[in-house]
Amino acid sequence: MFNVLRNRRKPLTPLEQLLMDYLWAHPTSTAEACREGVAAQRALKDSTIRTILRNLEEKGYVTHTVDGRTFIYRASDTPRNVAVQAAQQLIDRFCGGSVEELLVGLVDNQVLKPNQLQRLADKIASRREKRV
């Protein structure tokens, strides 16, 4: 049975990901700073940047404050937490909610080597011991 999606954000589009990567590296940025910051990878119009930032805010990835008439944007979550949510969506959608199914698939398809999986198991065990 599939896990219920609780408070999950819609996934990032490639352009949204580009802006999020910039915002994570530059925590307080204006739309203009974002446009200039991603220009080497993708030349975008000012209106396009503002639309993407508005969409990111609607999805819950970004917040803003106002300084005079300027919007200052910042990521509302860390890259790690966003990655965890994306992984949970993959697990729910394609693996029937089973983390084990995903991990076995990663090993079977040689994305994750068995020794990497063992190191991960050791880290989990170590963290569990620290809590006790």
pLDDT digits (tens, 9 = 90+) for 50-95: 999 999 999 999 999 999 999 999 999 999 999 999 999 999 999 9
What pLDDT sits at residue 7?
A: 57
18 and 71 inside one domain: yes
Task: Concatenate the DSSP letters of all residues of 55-110 into one string.
Answer: HHHHHTSEEEEEETTEEEEEESS-HHHHHHHHHHHHHHHHSTT-HHHHHHHHHHTT
Q: Does any domain span residue 26?
A: yes
What pLDDT sits at residue 5?
A: 42
Q: Does any domain span residue 121?
A: yes
Q: Does any domain span residue 90?
A: no
Report pTM.
0.78
Q: Of the candidates 67, 85, 78, 84, which has an alpha carbon nearest to the alpha carbon of residue 30?
A: 67
- When divided into structural domains, the chain yields a total of 2
pLDDT band at 2 (very low <50, low <70, confident <90, very high): very low
Domain span at residue 115? 98-132
71 and 23 inside one domain: yes
pLDDT one-digit tens code per residue, 12-50: 999 999 999 999 999 999 999 999 999 999 999 999 999
Q: Does any domain span residue 89?
A: no
